[in-house]
Structure 1
Amino acid sequence: MSTTTTATRARVADTVLDSRVMIRRGLTRSMRDPEAFFTALTLPVALMLLFVYVFGGAMSTGGSYVDYVVPGIILLCAGFGAGTTAVAVADDMTNGIVDRFRSMPIAAGSVVVGHVVASVARNAIATTLVIAVALLIGWRPSAGPLEWFAAIGILAAFVLAISWLAATVGLLARSKDAANAFTMVLAFLPYVSTAFVPADTLPAALRGFAEHQPMTPIIETLRGLWMGTEIGDQAWWALGWCTLILVASTVASARLFRRRTS
Structure 2
Amino acid sequence: MTAVAVTAPPSVHVRPAADVVTMLRRNLLRAKRYPGLTMFLVAGPLVMLLLFVYVFGGAFGAGVAPGVAPGADGRAAYLAYITPTLLILTVVGAGQSVAISAAMDAAGGITARFKTMAISPGSVLSGQVLGTVLQALAALVLVLGAALAMGYRPDAGVLDWFALLGLFVLLGLALSWICVALGLNARSVETASNAPMILLLLPFLGSGFVPVETMPTAVRWFAEYQPFTPIIETARGLLAGGAGLEAAVAAQAVGWCVVLGAAGYAWARSLYRRERRL
User: In structure 1, what residue type is equivalent to 2:129?
Assistant: V
Is the contact made by 2:102 and 2:180 (CA closer than 8 Å) also made in structure 1?
Answer: yes
CA shift, 1:103, in A, is 2.9
CA shift, 1:100, in A, is 2.1
Q: TM-score, normalised by structure 1?
A: 0.92
- The 3-state SS of whatever aligns with 2:55 is helix
- The 3-state SS of whatever aligns with 1:260 is coil
**Structure 2 stretches lacking a partner, 5+ long:** 1-10, 69-76
Output the CA distance in 1 between the equivalents of 2:114 and 2:238: 44
Matched residue, 1:61: 64
Output the CA distance in 1 between the equivalents of 2:40 and 2:236: 26
Does residue 1:241 correspond to 2:256, yes or no?
yes
Counterpart of 1:178 (choices 158, 167, 191) is 191
Name which of structure 1's ranges 228-237 and 112-121 shifts more when overlaid on structure 2. 228-237
Output the CA distance in 2 between the equivalents of 1:42 and 1:241: 27
Same amino acid, percent of matched pairs: 39
What pairs up with 1:223-234 in 2 under 5 angstroms?
Answer: 223-227=236-240, 228-232=242-246, 233-234=248-249
CA shift, 1:119, in A, is 0.6
- The 3-state SS of whatever aligns with 2:195 is helix
User: In structure 2, what residue type is equivalent to 1:124?
Assistant: L
- The 3-state SS of whatever aligns with 1:141 is coil
CA shift, 1:151, in A, is 1.2
CA shift, 1:104, in A, is 2.0
Output the CA distance in 1 between the equivalents of 2:84 and 2:42: 16
Output the CA distance in 2 between the equivalents of 1:101 and 1:183: 25
Does residue 1:70 correspond to 2:83, yes or no?
yes
Matched residue, 1:220: 233
Point out the structure with max Rg over C-alpha: 2
Matched residue, 1:3: none
User: In structure 1, what residue type is equivalent to 2:231?
Assistant: I
Output the CA distance in 2 between the equivalents of 1:219 and 1:106: 38
**Structure 1 stretches lacking a partner, 5+ long:** 1-6
Matched residue, 1:4: none
Matched residue, 1:34: 35
Instruction: Flag the structure with higher helix content.
Output: 1
Counterpart of 2:142 (choices 118, 129, 138) is 129
Output the CA distance in 1 between the equivalents of 2:163 and 2:114: 39
Matched residue, 1:251: 266
Matched residue, 1:150: 163
Counterpart of 2:154 (choices 141, 144, 147) is 141
Output the CA distance in 1 between the equivalents of 2:116 and 2:257: 35
Output the CA distance in 2 between the equivalents of 1:256 and 1:69: 36
Q: TM-score, normalised by structure 2?
A: 0.87
Show CA shifts across 1:159-209 (max 9, x none): 111111111111211211221112321211111111111001122221111
Relative contact order (C-alpha < 8 Å, sep 6+): which is higher?
1
Is the contact made by 2:182 and 2:196 (CA closer than 8 Å) also made in structure 1?
Answer: no
CA shift, 1:21, in A, is 1.0
Output the CA distance in 1 between the equivalents of 2:274 and 2:119: 17
- The 3-state SS of whatever aligns with 1:196 is coil
Output the CA distance in 2 between the equivalents of 1:254 and 1:103: 16
Output the CA distance in 1 between the equivalents of 2:36 and 2:267: 30
Matched residue, 2:48: 47
Output the CA distance in 2 between the equivalents of 1:261 and 1:205: 40
Output the CA distance in 1 between the equivalents of 2:276 and 2:105: 12
